[in-house]
Amino acid sequence: MALPKSVTIFGTGLIGGSLALALKSAAPGIRVVGVDRPGTLAEARELGMVDEGDPQASELFVLAAPVGQILKLLDDVIPGHAIVTDVGSTKAAICRKAEERGVRFIGGHPLAGSEKNGPRAASADLFKGTPFFLCFVSTTPPEATAIMLDLVAAIGAIPQMISPDDHDRLVAQISHLPQLVSDVLAAHTASNRDFAGSGLKSMTRLAASPVDVWRDIFKTSGFLPHEVRSFMNRLGEALEALERDQNE
């Protein structure tokens, strides 16, 4: 395997912390350095996710922050020697910024997660059996391919090569739309939620997800408006059928 000997993860919450745990499980000798707010980083160290060390010395940088912060990190903290990847839920804006900056970059997005957040929500098994999208750009160095394919295999995920635009088109339908629908449904039923059974609770579970994370995703999900319109058309058809059946 071409796994790096040292990795710096910017963001040690659910995804970044799970990645750290998965890498340590797969490669016990690997050094994982974390960068985060002091309290969160202290918690991650307490849980054994990350090690002490110089973040700038790592071979691989993983940007595991909300999308808006990833875009800022690409401006601020990337050394010229490291290969850089991310775990952002949209890829077009991030990949475009990486290319503009000339970063040695390969976009990444594990399709795994939870409505929970923080280091204590992390799990070494989070990525097992899940798709892990990889987006190559004009500044992706050749060696990044082997590193990321081996990393994805090591954490038990399934690599999926895709362009940034195709990625954003796909996840707008299968990830971003369900989140938005859950948010709207939770707001629509809030006044009677104390009476809700398991069906409504299941459908609104995603609405408990961190607002700051999803705000950035919605802002950069260029294909989401199209998916919302398509879904509204289907709802309209369902409404017409319902009204027709009730008026017969």
pLDDT tens digits along 186-236: 999 999 999 999 999 999 999 999 898 899 999 999 999 999 999 999 999
Give the pLDDT confidence of 77-124 residue by residue, as tens digits.
666 788 999 999 999 999 999 999 999 999 999 999 777 789 999 999
Residue whose C-alpha is closest to residue 107's, from 129, 83, 127, 125: 83
pLDDT tens-digit profile of 25-52? 999 899 999 999 999 999 999 999 999 8
Report which residue type is found at 31.
Answer: R
What is the rounded end-to-end Cα distance, in angstroms, of the chain?
66
Residue-wise pLDDT for 136-195, tens only, equals 999 999 999 899 999 999 999 999 999 999 999 999 999 999 999 999 999 999 999 999
Which pLDDT belongs to residue 1? 62
Q: Using H for helix, E for strand and C for coil, what is the string for 62-115?
A: EECCCHHHHHHHHHHCCCCCCEEEECCCCCHHHHHHHHHHCCCEEEEEECCCCC
Identity at 178, one-letter amino acid code: P
Query: What is the model's pTM?
Result: 0.92
Higher per-residue confidence, 248 vs 16:
16
Look at residue 239 and tell me whether its pLDDT is greater than 70: yes
pLDDT score of 248 more than 80: no
Question: For residues 12 and 44, is the Cβ–Cβ distance under 8 A?
Answer: yes
Set out the domains of the chain in order of their start, with CATH numbers.
6-162 (3.40.50.720), 167-247 (1.10.3660.10)
